[in-house]
């Protein structure tokens, strides 16, 4: 009797089935981990925007808070100015980072920007992120599972500390 070399079809099918079972268990956990990482990055970016706005307001008191994220960024920082303060990176200033889109709105009073709202929305809800984040000049980060546009930010259910 000759000895066969290689694997039988049944053995190969069993190995493929085991690999598929392991993948079915691992892939949802991987997606949840990616969402958590994107949300963590969004929280850090909103905190960075808060810090940059406070620094900008201190450096340019005649302007108040920055009107755009472009004013907080900048490419030529010798010297920084009110139109390019070089306080945040250009990726964040572009408005998208790590699966989230960022927006900045200001409240003006007599030509002075007296308040702002920074917000972060997932680019693809339930895929790149689950929660929406926002913050005002008070520096308190707020989150909710629904969009936090405008007045909804003040009534967000879960302020993050």
The string of pLDDT tens digits covering residues 52-76 is 999 999 999 999 999 999 999 987 7
Write down the pLDDT at residue 8: 86
Q: Is 129 helix (H, G, I), strand (E, B) or coil?
A: strand
The reply to whether 145 falls in a domain is yes
Averaged pLDDT, 92-116: 92
Q: In what order do the strands lie in the sheet with 112-122?
A: 96-97, 100-109, 112-122, 132-136, 141-144, 158-160
The string of pLDDT tens digits covering residues 11-46 is 899 999 999 999 888 888 888 999 999 999 999 999
The reply to whether 39 falls in a domain is yes
The reply to whether 2 falls in a domain is no
Are 69 and 49 a contacting pair, CB within 8 Å? yes
Q: CA triplet 109, 113, 116: central angle to 5 degrees?
A: 115
Write down the mean pLDDT value for the chain: 87
Averaged pLDDT, 71-89: 87
Q: Is the pTM above the cut of 0.75?
A: yes
The reply to whether 63 falls in a domain is yes
Tell me which residue range forms the domain holding 25. Answer: 9-160
- The number of folded domains in the chain is 1
- Closest by Cα among 160, 139, 156, 123 to 48: 139
The reply to whether 3 falls in a domain is no
The reply to whether 60 falls in a domain is yes
């Amino acid at each position: 009797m000759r000895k066969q070399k290689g694997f039988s079809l049944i053995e190969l099918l069993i190995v493929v089935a085991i690999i598929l079972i392991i993948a079915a268990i691992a892939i949802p956990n991987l997606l949840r981990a990616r969402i958590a990482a994107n949300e963590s990055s969004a929280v850090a970016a909103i905190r960075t925007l808060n810090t940059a706005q406070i620094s900008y307001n201190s450096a340019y008191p005649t302007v108040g808070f920055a009107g755009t994220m472009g004013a907080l960024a900048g490419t030529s920082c010798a010297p920084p100015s009110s139109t390019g303060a070089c306080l945040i990176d250009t990726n964040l200033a572009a408005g998208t980072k790590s699966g989230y889109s960022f927006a900045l709105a200001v409240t003006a009073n007599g030509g002075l920007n007296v308040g702002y709202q920074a917000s972060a929305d997932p680019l693809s809800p339930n895929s790149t992120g689950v929660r929406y984040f926002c913050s005002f000049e008070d520096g308190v980060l707020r989150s909710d599972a629904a969009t936090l546009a405008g007045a909804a930010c003040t009534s967000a259910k879960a302020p993050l500390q």
